[in-house]
Amino acid sequence: MRRTAFLSSLSPFGKLLLLFGIVIVFAVVTAFAGLVAGMVIYNATLAELSNFISNPVTPNAVSFLKFYQMINQIGIFILPVFFYTFLVSNSSFKYLSVNKAPMLISILVGGLVIYTILPTNNYLDELNRNMNLPDFLSGIEDWMQEKENKARKLTEILLSTSSITGLTINIIIVAIIPAIGEELLFRGLLLKLFNELAKNIHIAVLVSAIIFSAIHFQFYGFLPRLMLGMILGYLYVFTANLWVPIFVHFLNNASSTIIYYLHYNGYIKISMEDFGASSNVAYIIGSLLITLWLMSLIYQKEGSNRITKTR
């Protein structure tokens, strides 16, 4: 029996507001549920859990922080997406473009793109970190720097492990869940909605990538994350298959997690931040040109499947 989509007739702007409201409700509910679960699992009071989040210095605190982050990721990115698609579509999987297997060539080339873009992205990262705001915006700059330092400290706390089990858990939390959840929301829904609003797929890719980068609240990494968001967006546009950006997003995050693990435990000398970095202008420009060429290969191979034709 075909399911009825009760809100499928909403305007694109109405759907955007609906999605925004659903995300907020699920974020609040799952945040509360995570705390309640934490009180039971970790036999801790609410005050102790709050201290775990703000000052995760003990193994128990780090464990809860990872658990709580996983719950929040599911509550913000995954559950709202499927609830929303249940309301606006007769088939959630088809609406999200996850109802068919991707072409192997797109997976392989898309995965390669993550590595060819590294010199360009690291250059953008350097530009971003050397950014200075005018003196009258010094208060905002101090706030941005504080957020950046907190995010860096949190990343170090989450990724620092010496065991394979710890590495596996980190890959689940940092790579698998974010790759699925963020692509479902930003490419599977927001890119689609902005395309319906603007009637321009390039604006949709750009706006969804800007939101994707901004929502991480790491302002000194905004430009490289924006570049990543645009690559993921166009991979979705070219293939009309969300599994491709999901895989590429996973590969990007998993690679960083593994490199951090290897560096942290002394297996390699290069750090996660410096991996793929180069000051050679030819490498930086070549990195961008090769990436564009690889993206064009996917465009040519899957041109008949482009989202602008199938949506």
If pLDDT is split at 50, 70 and 90, which confidence band does 305 have?
low
271 or 207, which is more confident?
A: 207
- C-alpha 109/C-alpha 61 separation (Å) is 40
pLDDT at 310: 40
- For residue 1, is pLDDT > 60? no
Burial annotation 257-275 (CB, 10 A radius, 16+ → b, else e): bbbbbbbbeeeeeeebbeb
Q: What is the pLDDT of residues 200-251, one digit of tens each?
A: 999 999 999 999 999 987 777 899 999 999 999 999 999 999 999 999 999 9
pLDDT at 302: 82
Q: What is the pLDDT of residues 64-90, one digit of tens each?
A: 999 999 999 999 999 999 999 999 999
Q: What is the pLDDT of residues 6-25, one digit of tens each?
A: 787 889 999 999 999 999 99
- For residue 3, is pLDDT > 70? no
Mean pLDDT across 263-270: 91
pLDDT at 311: 44
Mean pLDDT across 38-51: 93
Exposed / middle / buried, residue 28 (Cβ in 10 Å: 0-12, 13-18, 19+):
exposed
- For residue 294, is pLDDT > 90? yes
Residue with tokens 């945040």: 31
pLDDT at 11: 92
Mean pLDDT across 131-139: 74
- The pLDDT mean for the chain works out to 90
CA distances from 66 to 41, 60, 166, 173 (A): 13, 10, 11, 7
Write the secondary structure of the chain as one string of H (helix), E (strand) and C (coil): CCCCCCCCCCCHHHHHHHHHHHHHHHHHHHHHHHHHHHHHHCCCCHHHHHHHHHCCCCHHHHHHHHHHHHHHHHHHHHHHHHHHHHHHCCCHHHHCCCCCCCCHHHHHHHHHHHHHCHHHHHHHHHHHHCCCCCHHHHHHHHHHHHHHHHHHHHHHHHHCCCCHHHHHHHHHHHHHHHHHHHHHHHHHHHHHHHHHHHCCHHHHHHHHHHHHHHCCCCHHHHHHHHHHHHHHHHHHHHHCCCHHHHHHHHHHHHHHHHHHHHHHCCCCCCCCCCCCCCCCHHHHHHHHHHHHHHHHHHHHHCHHHCHHHHC
If pLDDT is split at 50, 70 and 90, which confidence band does 98 have?
very high
**Listed residue (240, 246, 242) closest to 309, CA to CA:** 240
Q: What is the pTM (predicted TM-score) of this model?
A: 0.92
If pLDDT is split at 50, 70 and 90, which confidence band does 276 have?
confident
pLDDT at 257: 96
- C-alpha 113/C-alpha 155 separation (Å) is 24
- C-alpha 114/C-alpha 174 separation (Å) is 16
Least confident of 109-113, 125-129, 303-307: 303-307
pLDDT at 306: 65
155 or 147, which is more confident?
A: 155
- For residue 308, is pLDDT > 70? no
Distance from the first to the final alpha carbon of the chain: 24
Q: What is the pLDDT of residues 164-197, one digit of tens each?
A: 999 999 999 999 999 999 999 999 999 999 999 9
Mean pLDDT across 270-282: 84
Find all residues with CB under 8 Å of 272, minimum gap 6, and list them.
Answer: 256, 259, 260, 263
Residue 93 CB neighbours (<10 A): 13
pLDDT at 133: 72
pLDDT at 157: 87
